[in-house]
Structure 1
């Protein structure tokens, strides 16, 4: 199963990029042992449209174009469900065992993810009730993917 993160915006060089790259590499190392292909990142350019609705629609169109067929979608949304790490890992393990081709994680831009993409998500998750910058959400998602891999393989990284 391929894991794909499609995110609006770019992580610039610096500590955020370094941390994201570190968790992506860690996941790739452990993911191969679990039958996952490399974790792919697709950065979508932020829309320059003046009004919010058009920006969200433009970004949704670009994100939709990057989603492969036969994909399970996971929408990251501040109004999504709070899912603990073990449950998150169980979702990934189940999809892998069900031979899902692609699990695609969608991170919207500053205006959020389009309602249409949110509805298409098999899972809609939040990282708590707070609103987070989309760059931080990307890092937190990558850490959770790595943590899920460690849970599935029985590595002691996850101790809770």
Structure 2
């Protein structure tokens, strides 16, 4: 199984990008992982929120394979602790899924078509984080989940 993280827009903070790169490298020792950036939409001032969600949704759906398991990072999603998230990953690994795709949407969320295609929604917190920070948090939790699944030392155990 492989994991892909799709995100809208580039990370312009160099220090944050270094941390993302570090955890991406660490995660790669455990599982096939790919971070794919979908470029920001152009001329969004001329688009309504719904139009922007629709265009971003079309780009997201265009990146998926029919067999992908789509999980959205969404404020209304299920929350996990790290062990619970590792169990969630294990469940998908055991299901025979070839690829899980986690998606961080744009500033207004996802289009109805993306929600309809999704097999799950996860919330990292009730707090609001920048989309750039969420990338780091997701990759770090994927890494932590893999270390937990390998029974490596975990600071709460």
Q: Do Structure 1 and Structure 2 share a fold, with TM-score over 0.5?
A: yes
Residue aligning to 1:22: 22
> 1:121, 1:86 → 2: CA distance?
23
Residue aligning to 1:63: 60
Q: Render the CA deviation track for 1:73-117: whole Å, top value 9, x for unaligned.
A: 110011211112112111211211221111000100112222332
SS at match of 2:54: helix
User: Equivalences for 1:87-126 in 2 at 5 Å?
Assistant: 87-126=84-123
Residue aligning to 1:8: 8
> 1:102, 1:136 → 2: CA distance?
23
Q: Normalized against structure 2, the TM-score is what?
A: 0.91
SS at match of 2:65: coil
Q: Render the CA deviation track for 1:17-42: whole Å, top value 9, x for unaligned.
A: 1111111111111x1xxxx3x21111
> 1:123, 1:150 → 2: CA distance?
22
Match of 1:41 among 13, 35, 39: 35
Q: Normalized against structure 1, the TM-score is what?
A: 0.89
> 1:156, 1:126 → 2: CA distance?
25
**Unpaired runs of at least 5, structure 2:** none
Structure 1 runs (4+) deviating above 4 angstroms are: none
* RMSD of aligned alpha carbons: 1.5
